[in-house]
Amino acid sequence: MAGAFFRENDIRSGDFGKFIDACRVKDIKRFFLDSKGRPLKKYFSCCACPGCGKKGNPLYFMKEKFIFRLCKKCGTLYISPRPKLKRLSDYYADAESIRIFTREVLEKTAAVRKEKIFLPRAERLCRYLKNFKAGKQLLVEIGGGNGIFLELLKERKLGFGEYLNIEPSGEGARLSRARGIKTLNCLAEETRGLQADCICAFELIEHLFDPLAFCRQVRSLLKPGGVFILTTPNINGFDLLLLGKDSYNISGPNHLNYFNPESMAILLKRSGFKVVALETPGVLDVDIVYNRVKGGYKLNDRFVLSLLNKGDSLRDKLQLFLQDNLLSSNMLVVARKSC
C-alpha cells in the first residue's frame, strides 16, 4: 500500500507555491483594487448562489479582499461580489501569476502531470465514453491550458476525428498550438457553431463568473445526447473542510465557486443536463493536510493528527476511503445533454 499515490511535491513545491501566491496578490491589486487597496466597485457585481440560485446568503468569511458566502440551501461556497466577466477575462489573459504558473509549474511538471494526472483522467474518460456510447467526430476541451491532455488523447488514438482546445490564456493557447493542438484563444461563452460529441472542462467551473450560463453554453455546443465531463473542487472534501479559508485552494479571483456533489447536480439539472456518474477520485487530500501540518500549520483535530502521523500506508488507506465515499476534495462529474 505504501506509495500507492503520487505526492503533492511531485507537481508543485510549497516554496514556489508561496511565490505564485505573492504574484497573485500583486495581480489582484493591479486588476481589482484602487490606490488605497479597496475593491473598485465598477469591476464587481453581486450574484446569487451559482449552484441553486438562492439569493441573500450571508458573509461566511473574507480573504484577500474577497467576500465568501456559503449557501444555506445547497452548501455552495462562492465569492460575491465578484469580478465582472470582462475584467475577469482581462485578468486571465494578462495576469503575471497565471503566466508564471503556466510556464514554471505546468510546463516544468508536464511529464509527471501527464503520467499521474492526465493518464488516469484519460482512462476514466475512455471508460465513460464507451459506457455511454458517445459519438467520435469532435472532442472539445474547454480551458485546456497548454494542451497536454488533448495531446495524450491523440496519442492514445481514441478514434476522434478532431480535437479542439478552447483556451482564454494567451500563454496557454500558444503552448497548446505548439503541441499541434487546434486551439481557439477565447472564452467558451464567445464560441459559436460547434456540435461536439464530448466536451471536457477540467478544473474550470470554479473559475467562472457565471457557471449556469457556462453550462448552458456547453449544452448548446453539444450534439443531442452529448457527454459533458468536468472536474472541480468538492467543498465538502477532506482537506477543504479541515483547512477552510486557510486552504491554498481557496483563492479569489482564481476560484469563485466551490460546489459539492449535491449542488453540482442541482446546477447541471438547471442547465439541461442529467448527471449519469459522479466520483471523487482525488489523491492529494491527505498529503496536502500532512504537508501543511509538517510546515507548522496548527490543526485542531487530535484524531486526524494521530492518523497523519502513522505513516504512508495508513495515509494511503485514508485517501482510498475518501475516494470511495465521495469525500475527496476533487470531484469528477459526467452528465448527458437532456433532450
Task: State the pLDDT at residue 3.
Answer: 45
The structural domains of the chain, ordered by start, are 14-337 (3.40.50.150)
Amino acid at 167: E
Alpha carbons 79 and 55: distance in angstroms, whole number: 13
Give me 193's grid cell: 457553431
As beta bridge partners, residue 141 has 165, 200
Question: What's the pLDDT tens digit per position in 115-166?
Answer: 778 888 888 888 898 888 888 899 999 999 889 899 988 888 878 899 999 9
Nearest to 167 by CA among 195, 188, 138: 188
Q: What is the pTM of this model?
A: 0.89
Q: Which residues pair with 63 in a beta bridge?
A: 66
Q: What distance separates the 2 farthest-apart alpha carbons in the chain?
A: 56
Output the CA angle 303-304-310, nearest 5 degrees: 95
- Report whether 240 contacts 59 (CB < 8 A): no
State the burial class of residue 211 (Cβ atoms within 10 Å of its Cβ: 0-12, 13-18, 19+).
buried
Cell, residue 39: 475593491
Name the residue type at position 153: L
**pLDDT tens track of the chain, all 339 residues?**
444 576 776 666 556 567 778 888 999 999 999 999 999 999 999 999 999 999 999 999 999 999 999 999 999 999 999 999 889 888 987 898 888 887 777 777 777 777 778 888 888 888 898 888 888 899 999 999 889 899 988 888 878 899 999 998 788 899 999 999 999 998 888 888 899 999 999 999 999 999 999 999 999 999 999 999 999 999 999 999 999 999 989 999 999 999 999 999 999 999 999 999 999 999 999 999 999 999 899 999 999 999 999 999 999 999 999 999 999 999 999 999 986
Cell of 187: 472564452
Order of strands, edge to edge, in the sheet holding 66-70?
Answer: 59-63, 66-70, 77-79, 257-258
pLDDT of residue 11: 61
d(CA 274, CA 191): 23
What pLDDT score does 1 carry?
40
328, burial (CB in 10 Å: exposed 0-12, middle 13-18, buried 19+): buried
| Whole-number Cα distances in Å, 27 to 98, 99, 253 | 9, 11, 10
